[in-house]
């Protein structure tokens, strides 16, 4: 039986190193279900989903993280957005053929990963790193090496088990108070963690995974957190967008189609506005301005 999508946090008691383990097969499936992506793009979104979930779990405050790929290849954009409640959504925009077995470079061309951290209160932070090697994992490792942050490693596993797409991963991070010896230990723990297989993340209980990887270590496991697909779109958000569009353009669409049909590219929800809705919006806007 498939496992529920969960995030597990753990701590190596003898060392100043923390860890995370996630398995997000259902969330992955929900992100893909309203779209018809080529297999290679599905894999890319899976890798981004795992990265976003693991990174969001390191937040010390309420907020969200967007991990976005931009390039000049056929995959123009691939993005996953997730918040501290582990609610995830994502989408890819493709313009041109993506052949089976395409590498990251072939899909994205000259590309970048943009990581945007948006606290609910406080200032937004953005980090950009060129795509390196042939996986999201390698590029994000480069991001952590470049930025002066705590040593952090991600392990991303996306694949298929019994014909079903699977996505899971792990993260290790040195704690702020760590001394020099922790860094050697960290390298050792990284080597152990690198042996994790996607099938193990997808099918095994967390305790079994931790025992297999770190049976000589004293590991404390914390209560899990649910990971789920959840889109944050709403009629109100569409109204705000409509209010920013040139009035003439809105009028043209209304005259031509009799309505404005806005589709959320993340979840496929439709929000329909007719002329009287738009008039109401304009009145509200005018009131705000005067």
How far is Cα 119 from Cα 212, in angstroms, rounded to an integer? Answer: 36
172 neighbors 219 (Cβ within 8 angstroms):
no
Site for Zn ion contains 266 (CB under 5 A) = yes
Binding Zn ion (rule: CB under 5 A), the pick from 264, 271, 273, 278 is: 264
Residue 93 pairs in a beta bridge with 77
Closest separation in Å from C-beta 33 to Zn ion: 13
200 neighbors 207 (Cβ within 8 angstroms):
no
Closest separation in Å from C-beta 82 to Zn ion: 14
Site for Zn ion contains 267 (CB under 5 A) = yes
Q: Is 254 exposed, middle or buried (0-12, 13-18, 19+ CB in 10 A)?
A: middle
Closest separation in Å from C-beta 91 to Zn ion: 9
Site for Zn ion contains 131 (CB under 5 A) = no
**Of the ranges 4-12, 44-52, 224-232, 237-245, which one interacts with Zn ion (CB under 5 A)?**
224-232
Closest separation in Å from C-beta 42 to Zn ion: 19
159 neighbors 41 (Cβ within 8 angstroms):
no
Place of tokens 């989408």: 91
Closest separation in Å from C-beta 37 to Zn ion: 17
How far is Cα 60 from Cα 63, in angstroms, rounded to an integer? Answer: 9
Site for Zn ion contains 7 (CB under 5 A) = no
**Of the ranges 2-10, 181-189, 221-229, 256-264, which one interacts with Zn ion (CB under 5 A)?**
256-264
Closer Cβ to Zn ion, 26 or 160, answer by number: 26
Site for Zn ion contains 233 (CB under 5 A) = yes
Q: Which of residues 95-114 bind Zn ion (CB under 5 A)?
A: none
Closest separation in Å from C-beta 3 to Zn ion: 26
How far is Cα 121 from Cα 112, in angstroms, rounded to an integer? Answer: 27
How far is Cα 49 from Cα 88, in angstroms, rounded to an integer? Answer: 8
# binding residues, Zn ion (CB under 5 A) = 6
DSSP string of 44-57?
A: HHHHHHHHHHHHHT
Site for Zn ion contains 262 (CB under 5 A) = no
**Which residues lie near Zn ion (CB under 5 A)?**
231, 233, 264, 266-267, 269
């Amino acid at each position: 039986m498939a496992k529920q999508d969960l995030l597990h946090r753990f701590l190596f008691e003898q060392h100043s190193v923390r860890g995370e383990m996630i398995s997000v097969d259902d969330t992955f499936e929900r992100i893909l279900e309203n779209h018809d992506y080529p297999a290679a793009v599905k894999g890319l979104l899976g890798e981004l989903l795992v990265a976003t979930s693991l990174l969001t779990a390191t937040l010390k405050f309420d907020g969200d993280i967007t991990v976005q790929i931009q390039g000049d290849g056929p995959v123009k954009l691939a993005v996953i957005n997730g918040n501290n409640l582990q609610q995830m959504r994502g989408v890819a925009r493709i313009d041109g053929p993506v052949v089976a077995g395409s590498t990251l470079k072939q899909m994205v061309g000259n590309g970048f990963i943009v990581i945007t951290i948006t606290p609910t209160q406080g200032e937004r932070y953005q980090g950009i790193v060129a795509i390196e090697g042939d996986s999201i994992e390698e590029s994000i490792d480069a991001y952590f090496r470049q930025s002066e942050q705590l040593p952090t490693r991600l392990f991303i596993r996306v694949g298929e088990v019994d014909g079903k797409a699977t996505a899971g991963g792990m993260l290790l991070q040195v704690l702020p108070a760590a001394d020099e010896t922790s860094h050697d230990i960290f390298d050792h723990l990284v080597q152990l963690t690198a042996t994790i297989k996607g099938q193990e993340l997808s099918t095994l209980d967390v305790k079994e995974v931790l025992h297999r990887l770190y049976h000589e270590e004293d590991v404390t496991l914390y209560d899990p957190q649910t990971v789920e697909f959840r889109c944050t779109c709403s009629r109100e958000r569409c109204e705000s967008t409509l209010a920013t569009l040139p009035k003439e353009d809105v009028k043209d669409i209304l005259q031509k189609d009799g309505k404005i049909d806005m589709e959320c590219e993340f979840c496929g929800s439709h929000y329909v506005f007719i002329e009287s809705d738009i008039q109401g919006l304009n009145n509200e806007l005018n009131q705000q301005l005067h």
